[in-house]
Amino acid sequence: MLAITIRSQLTLLVLASLTITACGAGATITPTATPRVTPAAMPTPTVSLASTPTATATPVAQETTQVVPTSIITPTGAHKIFHIVPQQSEARYRAREQLLGRSLPNDAVGRTQAIEGQIALTADGKIDSQRSRFTVDLTTLRSDETRRDNYIKQNTLEVAKYPTADFQPTEVQGLPWPLPTNGQASFQLVGNLTVHGVTKPVTWNVQASFDGTRITGTAITQVTFQDFAMTPPRVPIVLSLEDTITLELDFTLEPAP
């Protein structure tokens, strides 16, 4: 009887174990939800437009490159500069000869190509006198009479002391502007002529021809020996020159490179 009771209890225990196992295998375990903690809302700061300073943008420096135009404009405002071409130019003096006080139908003419210089014009067609000058080497003057040349250069011009004649243009009158590229024009060139250490204002009458950028022509003026404190070349009883001298310049001008 005791054995039956023990066996019955074992059977119940086995059945109970199987029942628990079967229930455990088919059950779904639902995880416990973790409560979500919502952070407390942070207070939004109030911005006052009246009290908030306006931010100022700091400009970014940019490197700039200055472009220098390639032109013949000079710091003094010269717009066009023309150089004289010595090989195609000639400076002359012309004076009437005298014999025993009577004028002869013959002119003494001395000439040279030893000329250098330039003329500068501003953008409005005026002379830039600081950059304009022509110089003639008087020691190279030649005529058809060597003895006359020697006498004039030694005793009248005194080229050992005053070897050059210099002309500085200061004003141009009647020059068409802008410069034409063809045709002819007459105008006057005013400036200061220095000879024998004396400077005098003179006016040249100019006849010019224009061919593209090239200018050719002749400039003429008259002076006296006395204007420049020179003694006219006179040899008693023989040949001498009248006091009035005509100065001439055949010129070719080309633009500066």
Residue by residue, pLDDT tens for the chain (257 residues) are 434 444 444 444 434 444 333 334 444 434 444 444 444 444 444 433 333 444 444 444 444 333 333 333 344 444 799 999 999 999 999 998 877 666 667 889 999 999 999 999 999 999 999 999 999 999 999 999 898 899 999 999 999 999 999 999 999 999 999 999 999 999 999 999 999 999 999 999 999 999 999 999 999 999 999 999 998 887 665 568 889 999 999 999 999 98
Q: Give domain status of residue 68, yes or no.
A: no
Q: Give domain status of residue 64, yes or no.
A: no
Q: The domain that contains 211 carries what CATH number?
A: 2.40.128.110
Q: Give domain status of residue 46, yes or no.
A: no
Amino acid 159 reads V
Q: Check if the beta carbon of residue 82 is closer than 8 Å to that of residue 131.
A: no
- Which pLDDT score is estimated for 97? 85
Which tokens is 195 given? 């000879």
Q: Give domain status of residue 161, yes or no.
A: yes
Q: Check if the beta carbon of residue 91 is closer than 8 Å to that of residue 249.
A: yes
Amino acid 117 reads G
CA dihedral 138, 140, 142, 146 (to 10 degrees): 100
Q: Give domain status of residue 105, yes or no.
A: yes
Q: Give domain status of residue 126, yes or no.
A: yes
Q: Give 101's DSSP letter.
A: T
Q: Check if the beta carbon of residue 153 is closer than 8 Å to that of residue 135.
A: no
- Which pLDDT score is estimated for 241? 84
- Which pLDDT score is estimated for 103? 66
The enclosing H or E element of 169 equals strand 164-173
Q: Give domain status of residue 6, yes or no.
A: no
Q: Give domain status of residue 50, yes or no.
A: no
Range of the domain at 186: 78-255
Q: What's the structural domain count of the chain?
A: 1
